[in-house]
């Protein structure tokens, strides 16, 4: 699977570890940065990740920052991205099954590496349920205010 991963400075170590793990599992991983622990703005990297999803250069995305909150908000500014903040495998599964999430976000200050791997494993293994959920996902892509 083609997976894009991005973070801010607070999650650089988690991003590197997860990217290596995903590559070891046979995935094509695009690391969208940053490349160092120097302070950066999470929206810049959330937008890059969302753009990769929108362009079709990645099938799934992993967004990381200190809490996972800020970068998930940034990713969700792009209508092609459906990013869910997850903290355990059930939320990752339901995000895919019910919401057709194509990106998950996690907080490096809140989640350990093994739990992050478990979330990603569930996220990548789960198919969208379609059916009654499709009309709801359609409304996410084409909101009516």
Known binding residues for D-ribulose 5-phosphate: 8-9, 66-70, 99, 109, 132, 136
- Around 68, how many Cα atoms within 13 Å sit in the side-chain half-sphere? 20
Provide the annotated binding site. 8-9, 66-70, 99, 109, 132, 136
The catalytically annotated residue of 27, 83, 98, 133 is 98
The residue from 65, 83, 119, 133 that is catalytic is 65
Residue 35 near residue 9 (C-beta atoms within 8 A): no
| CA distance linking residue 31 with residue 24, whole number of Å | 14
Helix axes 113-125, 89-99, angle to 10 degrees: 20
**Cis preceding linkage at 34, omega within 30:** yes
The dihedrals phi and psi of 113, each to the nearest 5 degrees, come to -60, -40
Clarify whether 133 is annotated catalytic: no
Q: Is 98 marked active-site?
A: yes
Question: Known catalytic residues?
Answer: 65, 98
């Amino acid at each position: 699977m083609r997976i894009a991963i991005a973070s801010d400075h607070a999650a650089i170590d988690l991003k590197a570890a997860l990217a290596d793990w995903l590559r070891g599992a046979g995935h094509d991983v695009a690391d969208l940065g940053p490349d160092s622990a120097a302070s950066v703005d999470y929206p810049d990297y959330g937008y890059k990740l969302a753009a990769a999803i929108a362009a079709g250069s990645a099938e799934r995305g992993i967004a990381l920052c200190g809490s996972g909150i800020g970068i998930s908000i940034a990713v969700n500014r792009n209508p092609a991205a459906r990013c869910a903040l997850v903290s355990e495998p059930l939320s990752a599964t339901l995000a895919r099954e019910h919401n057709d999430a194509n990106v998950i976000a996690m907080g490096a200050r809140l989640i350990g590496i093994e739990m992050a791997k478990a979330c990603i494993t569930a996220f990548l293994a789960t198919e969208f349920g379609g059916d009654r959920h499709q009309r709801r996902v359609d409304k996410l892509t084409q909101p009516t205010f």
